[in-house]
Amino acid sequence: MEDSRPETESTTSHPNHQDTTKDFTHQLNPLTDSASTAEASYVAPGRASFILPETVQFGYHEISHSKQMIISDDRLSATKSDPASQYAHGVCYGAIPLRGTAEFEVEIISYGTGWSGTMKLGVMRCKADSKISVPRYSPEGPEHVVWSSTKIHNRLSGGLSMGGPNVDETEKQYSTVNLDDLTVGSRLGFRLSYDGALSFLVDGKSHGVAAENVYLKAHDVYAVVDHYANCKATRITRAAMRVDLNLQDRCVELLASWLKSKQDAKELPLPLRLIERLVQSIDK
């Protein structure tokens, strides 16, 4: 059972500090490498709801994470140092801000303690060049939106905008899939669209839009992975961004935003390849 008592760790430097960003020379540059645009139509086998190349362009941040978390030298893995005695304090952030269309996925590589509950995933938004306090666990974090168990916890400014003075705008039911059922080998990811719509995926299958308008002017957005309770270690399997959209990409995203379902896309009088791209871009 999750304990909701407020607690944060000591304030750390903001992930935007340049001296902490490792150069992944064997991967694509998410902001400048033209291959990230040229290969935009590639869809990895078994990952029907991902639309970007299956690459890892960045890892975990080596400073902005819970003190109990150990980041590997290549910054692709994060491990809890004492999972048996600490169910919380497992929060890690991505190394660089997300931009444009972004996809992120991690795999559970070590699992199992006496605690109940498991990994949580989402994003954190903060003012550019500001400092942050790493929360005890991510659903409590200000300006965080995360999937926890079967619910979305949205603490972004504006929340869920459900309306009404007596409505809890920070939490809503999201999926029949319970993240507490994940185990070793399970993959949990998200896709953040160019216009700031956030969708989550389990083993490559999308569960629909969880939050909108995530991007905000003069703010940075970072991936956040919470190694809660039974989740002892993860490995990043996908961390890709596409910033400069070509005309076809823009048309696909705009058309997808107008369509109500994947079936609507399949009924359009368009080339099969374009219909397939539309279907990949629709989360309903």
The segments of the chain whose pLDDT lies below 70 read: 1-48, 158-169, 245-248, 283-284
Tally of domains in the chain: 2
- Any residues with CB less than 8 A from the CB of 36 and at least 6 apart, and which? 28, 29, 30, 52, 53, 55, 57, 240, 241, 242, 243
Q: Which residue has the tokens 């905008």?
A: 161
Which of 181, 132, 133, 123 has its CA nearest to residue 153? 123
- Do 258 and 231 sit in the same domain of this protein? no
- Do 278 and 164 sit in the same domain of this protein? no
Whether 3 is covered by a domain: the verdict is no
- Do 63 and 193 sit in the same domain of this protein? yes
8 Å CB contact between 240 and 40: no
Which pLDDT belongs to residue 20? 40
- Do 263 and 228 sit in the same domain of this protein? no
176/178 Cα distance (integer angstroms): 6
Which range marks the domain in which residue 264 is found?
Answer: 249-284
Whether 222 is covered by a domain: the verdict is yes
pTM assigned to the model: 0.73
68/157 Cα distance (integer angstroms): 28
Whether 117 is covered by a domain: the verdict is yes
Whether 85 is covered by a domain: the verdict is yes
Whether 30 is covered by a domain: the verdict is yes
Question: Which helix (H) or strand (E) is 275 found in, with range?
Answer: helix 272-281
Distance of alpha carbon 111 from its chain centroid, rounded?
A: 20
- Do 149 and 116 sit in the same domain of this protein? yes
Which pLDDT belongs to residue 26? 37
Which pLDDT belongs to residue 23? 43
94/63 Cα distance (integer angstroms): 10
DSSP for 10-65, please give it: EEE--TT-GGG----TTS--TTT-THHHHTTT---TT-TT--S-S-B---EEEEEE
The pLDDT tens digits for 224-264 are 999 999 999 999 999 999 887 666 677 777 777 777 788 88
Which of 129, 98, 266, 283 has its CA nearest to residue 200? 283
- Do 118 and 130 sit in the same domain of this protein? yes
156/142 Cα distance (integer angstroms): 7
The pLDDT tens digits for 155-164 are 998 655 434 3
DSSP for 191-206, please give it: EE-TT--EEEEETTEE
Which pLDDT belongs to residue 246? 67
16/61 Cα distance (integer angstroms): 10
81/78 Cα distance (integer angstroms): 10
- Do 171 and 276 sit in the same domain of this protein? no
Which pLDDT belongs to residue 214? 96
Whole-angstrom CA distances from 132 to 59, 212, 235 are 19, 22, 24
8 Å CB contact between 261 and 282: yes
Q: Which residue has the tokens 């400073």?
A: 63
